[in-house]
Structures are given as C-alpha cells and as structure tokens.
Amino acid sequence: MATTQEKTTPCCVHNDTAKSLPPQAPPALVRKPSDDWAVAATDPSEDPSRKRSAVATMIHSFETVTDSPTTNAASTKGIPIMVRAQTSHPLDPLSTAEISVAVATVRAAGETPEVRDGMRFFEVALVEPDKNVVALADAYFFPPFQPSLLPKTKGGPVIPSKLPPRRARLVVYNKKSNETSIWIVQLSEVHAATRGGHHRGKVIWSKVVPDVQPPMDAVEYAECEAVVKDFPLFREAMKRRGIEDMDLVMVDAWCAGYHSDADAPSRRLAKPLIFCRTESDCPMENGYARPVEGIHVLVDMQNMVVIEFEDRKLVPLPPADPLRNYTPGETRGGVDRSDVKPLQIIQPEGPSFRVNGHFVQWQKWNFRIGFTPREGLVIYSVAYIDGSRGRRPVAHRLSFVEMVVPYGDPNEPHYRKNAFDAGEDGLGKNAHSLKKGCDCLGYIKYFDAHLTNFNGGVETIENCVCLHEEDHGILWKHQDWRSGLAEVRRSRRLTVSFICTVANYEYGFFWHFYQDGKIEAEVKLTGVLSLGALQPGETRKYGTTIAPGLYAPVHQHFFVARMDMAVDCKPGEGFNQVVEVNVKIKEPGKNNVHNNAFYAEEELLRSELQAMRDCNTLSARHWIVRNTRNVNRTGQLTGYKLVPGSNCLPLAGSEAKFLRRAAFLKHNLWVTPYAREEMYPGGEFPNQNPRVGEGLATWVKQNRSLEEADIVLWYVFGITHIPRLEDWPVMPVERIGFMLMPHGFFNCSPAVDVPPSAGDVEVKDNVIAVKPIQNGLIAKL
C-alpha cells in the first residue's frame, strides 16, 4: 500500500501533485530523568483503580517487545519533549523497502545454497500488533492524537518514546524440498530514503508447517500452462479436436482441492481446466466460450511436469458463437448503442474526505485503510465522532477472509470446481490496477498496494484501492400535509473498494460508510461464466444451455466477512456481547383478541456453540453486538446490529467433499472471542487440506463464553447462481451483502443534522454537479 506517493484524481485523470494534510503537533510529554520513557498528563480527579491493571499490562507488553530504553544526557526533569516522529503507523501495510528487507533476511537465513535457491515467496504481510500498541500509536504518535484511547490512571500512563519495531510474516515454499514454512522477521527502523534501502532485519521465529500446501502463484499458473501445452500427448489430443495452434489454447491451473488420498499435500498438484480461442490475433476474445472437455491432466507443480494424462472422452469443441465476444463493436452484429450521451460527476471544490497517510476522515467517521495479499482491502479502527461523547469505536478490523465457489454439476470436471479464492489464490494478489478505467466515478483517492512476487521481488499494483464519495438517493424526507412544507436530505456515502480477477470471474469488494451511522458491506460479482461443452443434442439438468454445444453449470458463491467488533470499547476491552432478535407472533387469546399481535424477542448468545446461527427471513432475524457497560438515554445498552441481506446455505449434500474443507459454510453466523491466531475460517492452508473441519468449526468446539468478551463476528453470505441466457457473453453485476446499523447506539438519528446542501444535485447541460458539504470539512488533497 502506498505510503509516500498517494494519488487523488477526478475520475480517471491523474493528479500526482496532491498533498496530504499537515500533521498536527503531539501533546507535550514529560521525560523521566532516569530513562527514555515519557509520562502524559491526565485528569487527576478521575479514580484510576478500575483501569490500573490494564495500563500495567499495556506497559509490560511494550517492555517485552521494544528495544531497551536508552538514556539521554540532554534530558532534564520536567522539560516538555516531543515524541520522536514515526514514519509508519503500526497498521500501515508493508512498504516496498520493508518487503525487500524481509525477503532478504529470510533468504540469508537459509542453511545451504540449495535451500536459499529453492525459496519461493507466497506472502509477505505485516504482523499486526496487539491492540494496545495500536491504541498507543493513535493516542500519542500519529495525528489526530487521541489520548482518550488509553485508560486514565493516577499520574498518567508511562509512555515509551518509540513504538515497537514493525514485523513481517512470510509464507515460504521450497521447491526443492516441497516444504512450507512461516517466518517472522523484525524490521529495523532504518529507511530506504536515508540508507539507500539497505535495511537490516532479524529472524525472530520460524517453523516448517507439515502436511500443507500454500496457495498457487501467477508464475506457477504461467509455467503450468506452458508445460501442459508442450506435452506431446496433450498436443495429440488437441489435434484430434482440430486444434494445432497452441497459441489458441488456454490452460487454467486450478488447485486440486481434496477429494481423496490421491490429493494429499505430500505432492503439490494442479488439475487444469482447458479452453480454446478461435482467433490467435484477438487477445481479448472470450476463450472461456470454448471449453475443452474429456481431457484429464494432473500436474506436479513442484517439479512442473505432467504426471497423469488421459483423453477420456472426445467431446467436440463448441462452435464459435457469434455472440461470444464482449469488446466494443463485436457484440450483436457489431452494433453498439449510440444514444447514450455523456454523464459527468464533478466536485468542483474537491471531496469532503480528508486523508493523512492511510488515515481517513469523512463526516463523523474515521478509520485506517490496510491491504493484505490474501484478504485485499482491510478496514481498521472504525470510529464515529459523536458530539460531546467524542470518539466512539465501532470495529477494530473489517475484512473478507475467505470465499468458496462450489459447482453443482456432478460430472467431470465440474464436480471438483470448488475454489477457495482467498485461501488458494489470494484476493489481494489478484487485485486490479484501477488507473486505466473509470471503475469509480467522481473525485477519487487511490492507494497503491505492494506485494512480493514468487521469486521474492516486489511488485506494485498502482491505484489498487479506490476511495470516493457517492450520491445515494434520499437520506430522509417528510412533508407536513397541513402546511405543505417538506424537508428532504440526500444521502451521501463514502466508498472504499478494490476489484480482483480470479480466472473467469471478477469480484468487487466494497465498504460503504453512511451519514446516518450505517456501514454496508457489498460484493459485486461479474466477469464471464465458467462453461462446459455438450455433445450434439445433449442437455444437462445441472445447468443452462446458452449457445449450441455450450452450457453454464449451476453454482454458488460464498463469502466470509470477519468483523472484529469494538462497540463503544477502547482497544483491548472486552465489553461486548451478541443478542439474537426474532419476531414472534402472539398466540390468540385474551391478550390478542384481534389476532394481530407480534413482537421482537431477544436472546443472549452465551457461548460459541449457541452462537452458530442461520438467517431466517420469516422471523426477521438479526443480531446485535452490545456494549455491556454503556447505555443510551433510555437506559438501554448501546449496540450495532448485523442485518442480513439475501443469503443461502450450501445446496450440496452433507457429505460433499468440499465441505470437508469448508465446514464454516454450514451456518450463516459464527461468533468467537478474539484470538489473534484465529484469522481464516478454513485454516490458513485450505489447498489440498485433508483435515476435517479445520479452522472455525474446530475453534468453536471450545465453547468459550461470549457473555462479555472481545467479540468477533464471522458472517457467511452467499448467492445461488442459476445462469440465464442474459448472462452471456458477459455476466452483468450481481450484488450481495449486509448492513451494520446503529441500534440504540445514538440518542437520536445522526441524519438529523445533515444540512440541505450536503447532497443536493444539480443537472445542467448533461453534467451532474454534486454540491459539496458546507460545514468546513472539505479538504483539497
């Protein structure tokens, strides 16, 4: 993720001269005469007895992870000092220099030249620090300074003069030994700008993880395609299908999954799917329109050789469909619509959001943007500024941690199409650069993403994350019928998003922040279908025939959102609980003589096993995360509720092989107490995973208490895709998602103070002009 060069552009026009806001000055700290620690002033009138132990724990954690304090001869008792500037916030994604140092450190730690030469780097990501480290950084080290994040104690908390060193976590595969290992590298504070990029790192922990296979990499995809296309028996099989030009052939190296002991992770395997274009001089031709069926290929990805090949059934290639392509001028006989006039969205005074590094402020929201190779976009430290109540946390971390796409056709090869697109491929690693197209409209702030490649080099996805404002229709309206007077406000939302491609499908992941305190998570599915070939005259009940000799199998898409909640909780506090709400119909009787009564009934989810829940539209089921210590003006506990959107559960049988790795799909909601090692619902390595129920389904067997805890919500939502003829040759966007909505969190609607000018839209000469907010929040970046 970009840390030095950040770009803000109107629509697709670049403006690299944008400047970030100047940092604010930190509060004065007083250095103790005997060491290099500092003490912050606090309110001496507040009784600190309840929180003293928390502070002691916080300070102890720093003493164990940071360098030893150093004395400073120039320091004098009582002299105010400034905390030394920190260049990277503890939650900022790793910079290119930090990734290079981490890779070089691990490579240098290899025991032999053979080990070092065989290292392949699948993931280099930030080791996210403990929540108390983040609290300290936000309180005293990075603007806007928020000392209220730390508990107040008598005399003030002891604050170190520097933050702990940042750390990187690496997933490394050795091609020579077929071993997967995990490394933790402590990064020095030397920076590329001052030392020419020659950082020092230190390996502080490593281990070999037995019986696993890491995700596939783009380099391996390319090598696998080349190996298969060069295999003599494959060439002969394609020749029998009338194809001799290997440049037309597409080989998608799908992970083997786990269906039997033959898929065990003792070998690194891929079972490719084959497709074939019709024109070698048309790189944008939809090659997925001509699937090659009947060929079985198994590739040893460690040694990059074909180890099994069989031409099982000669299925003719589907004929070239005239509607197969999607490029301009090639659809529907080469006639594109010509009656669409220009539509522009402009913000002549700039956007209403402010960005400082990765810290975003908009309206009353603030949060940090992060990015990982596996999850892609991560939203940290989400909080709402609520008048006299100040900063009110909502969530510590929001992200999409896994997705699974099972297909419903039992025939070869479709039964084994059940990709774990995050765990087997990486959503972040497959993200797009958005600089070449208007994927977002308006005044856009882009963030770059920095990732390692297979060989340990650093690659940058420019303009990977998009931040912009959107008009979202009416926020609220009321007309007094007696006076005829009306009040109306338009809704504006702040959207943070990225888009990735995994084989034939595109997925857009969006987090929307609204002026009335809502947060919406949305996934947009588009791209092109993964198809199958049919024999002449054949039809299949497990899909839709969309062209001669061509059909689209039924399938499902499941996504898992992991939400580390913090409703009205300071970092490290565990004062949340989860309540399920169902609407009940009152039985007929003397208290319901008109037989019309219904009411909402709440049930506290006290433990993990009790909190394995499914959606129920018949009872308007939803869930509320409540703070057990804070109340609103009516005396109710403050909370945020999870409101499901459309959803589904797996339609496969309970013994389906993919559910062996994806037991987390069996319920829509799971709740766990926070544990930093519990990140991925199917375990960290789902590729060729032989273990039943690893991950979330195993963790909840501990049946830990949820009555007052640091709550993590795991929401599983999906869509069942029964393809239509209208999904060919391109699949129009389908949207699914859910809402996090304030529920008793505010004493009245946060939308009440939205001014009429906040979202007014003027249309003139085919230009939509969105009026900016007139309350001093506009910042020209």
Check residue 243 and give its pLDDT.
Answer: 95
Across the chain, mean pLDDT equals 85
What's the rounded mean pLDDT across residues 375-390?
A: 96
Residue 764 has pLDDT above 80, yes or no: no
Residue 758 has pLDDT above 70, yes or no: no
Place of tokens 């809704």: 491
With cut-offs at 50, 70 and 90, classify the pLDDT of residue 15: very low
For a pLDDT cut of 70, what percent of the chain falls above it? 83
Please give the residue that has the higher pLDDT: either 69 or 397: 397
Nearest to 713 by CA among 246, 264, 397, 493: 397
Check residue 691 and give its pLDDT.
Answer: 85
Residue 77 has pLDDT above 50, yes or no: no
- The per-residue pLDDT for range 255-291, each reduced to its tens digit, is 999 999 999 999 999 999 999 999 877 778 889 999 9
**Which residue among 36, 421, 448, 727 is the active-site one?**
421
Check residue 482 and give its pLDDT.
Answer: 94
Please give the residue that has the higher pLDDT: either 765 or 485: 485
Check residue 60 and give its pLDDT.
Answer: 41
Tell me the Ramachandran region of residue 304: left when phi exceeds 0, alpha when psi lies from -120 to 50, beta otherwise: left
Please give the residue that has the higher pLDDT: either 9 or 690: 690
**Which of 31-35, 637-641, 758-762 comes out lowest in average pLDDT?**
31-35
- The per-residue pLDDT for range 414-460, each reduced to its tens digit, is 999 999 999 999 999 999 998 755 678 888 999 999 999 999 999 99
Rounded Cα–Cα distance for residues 496 and 469 (Å): 9
Helix or strand (DSSP H, E) at 557? strand 555-565
- The per-residue pLDDT for range 581-629, each reduced to its tens digit, is 999 999 999 999 999 999 999 999 999 999 999 999 999 999 999 999 9
Helix or strand (DSSP H, E) at 103? helix 96-108
Rounded Cα–Cα distance for residues 674 and 768 (Å): 45
> If you write DSSP's letter for every residue of 367-422 in order, what string do you get?
EEEEEETTTEEEEEEEEEE-GGG-EEEEEEEEEEEEEEEEB---STTGGG-EEEII
Place of tokens 């002891």: 158
What are the CA-CA distances from residue 629 to residues 364, 485, 567, 604, 605 (Å)? Answer: 23, 42, 11, 15, 17
With cut-offs at 50, 70 and 90, classify the pLDDT of residue 49: very low
- The per-residue pLDDT for range 700-712, each reduced to its tens digit, is 999 999 999 999 9
**Which residue among 407, 505, 507, 551 is the active-site one?**
505
The set of residues, in sequence order, having a beta carbon less than 8 Å from that of 751 and lying 6+ positions away, is: 475, 476, 489, 515, 516
Token output for 572: 């490290």
- The per-residue pLDDT for range 302-341, each reduced to its tens digit, is 999 999 999 999 999 999 888 888 887 776 666 788 888 8
User: Cβ(487)–Cβ(406) under 8 Å?
Assistant: no
pTM of the model as a whole: 0.88
Check residue 6 and give its pLDDT.
Answer: 44
Helix or strand (DSSP H, E) at 460? strand 458-479
Check residue 41 and give its pLDDT.
Answer: 29
Check residue 505 and give its pLDDT.
Answer: 95
Nearest to 376 by CA among 315, 430, 319, 441: 430
Place of tokens 């909080």: 383
Rounded Cα–Cα distance for residues 519 and 522 (Å): 10
- The per-residue pLDDT for range 635-692, each reduced to its tens digit, is 999 999 999 999 999 999 999 999 999 999 999 999 999 999 999 999 999 999 988 8
Place of tokens 């920190």: 86
| 424 CB-side CA count, 13 A | 26
Q: In what order do the strands lie in the sheet with 532-533?
A: 532-533, 550-553, 543-547
How would you classify the pairing of strands 550-553 and 532-533?
A: antiparallel
Check residue 12 and give its pLDDT.
Answer: 45
Angle, to 10 degrees, between the axis of helix 218-229 and the axis of helix 232-240?
70
How would you classify the pairing of strands 761-764 and 249-252?
A: unpaired
Check residue 59 and give its pLDDT.
Answer: 39
Token output for 360: 């975003």
Q: What is the largest CA-CA distance in the chain?
A: 91
With cut-offs at 50, 70 and 90, classify the pLDDT of residue 769: low
- The per-residue pLDDT for range 360-374, each reduced to its tens digit, is 999 999 999 999 999
- The per-residue pLDDT for range 533-587, each reduced to its tens digit, is 998 888 999 999 999 999 999 999 999 999 999 999 998 899 999 999 999 999 9
Write down all domains in the chain, each with its CATH number in brackets: 96-151+162-209 (3.10.450), 218-311 (3.10.450.40), 355-743 (2.70.98.20)
Check residue 477 and give its pLDDT.
Answer: 94
Residue 96 has pLDDT above 60, yes or no: yes
- The per-residue pLDDT for range 187-243, each reduced to its tens digit, is 975 444 434 445 578 999 999 999 999 999 999 999 999 999 999 999 999 999 999
Taking 3-state DSSP, the helix, strand and coil percentages for the chain, each rounded to the nearest 5, stand at 15, 40, 45
Counting every residue, how long is the chain?
Answer: 781
Check residue 70 and give its pLDDT.
Answer: 33
Residue 469 has pLDDT above 80, yes or no: yes
- Establish whether the linkage from the previous residue to 413 is cis, with ω within 30° of 0: yes
Check residue 323 and give its pLDDT.
Answer: 82
Please give the residue that has the higher pLDDT: either 6 or 164: 164
- Establish whether the linkage from the previous residue to 681 is cis, with ω within 30° of 0: no
- The per-residue pLDDT for range 131-182, each reduced to its tens digit, is 999 999 999 999 999 888 887 777 777 788 889 999 999 999 999 999 999 9
> Catalytic: 421?
yes
> If you write DSSP's letter for every residue of 117-183 in order, what string do you get?
HHEEEEEEEE-PPPHHHHHHIIIIISSSP-GGGSPP-TT--EEESSPPPPEEEEEEEETTTTEEEEE
What's the rounded mean pLDDT across residues 716-733?
A: 94
113-120: long-range pairs with CB below 8 Å, 24+: 114/176, 115/174, 115/176, 115/177, 117/176, 118/174, 118/175, 118/176, 118/177, 119/172, 119/173, 119/174, 119/456, 120/172, 120/173, 120/174, 120/175, 120/217, 120/454, 120/455, 120/456
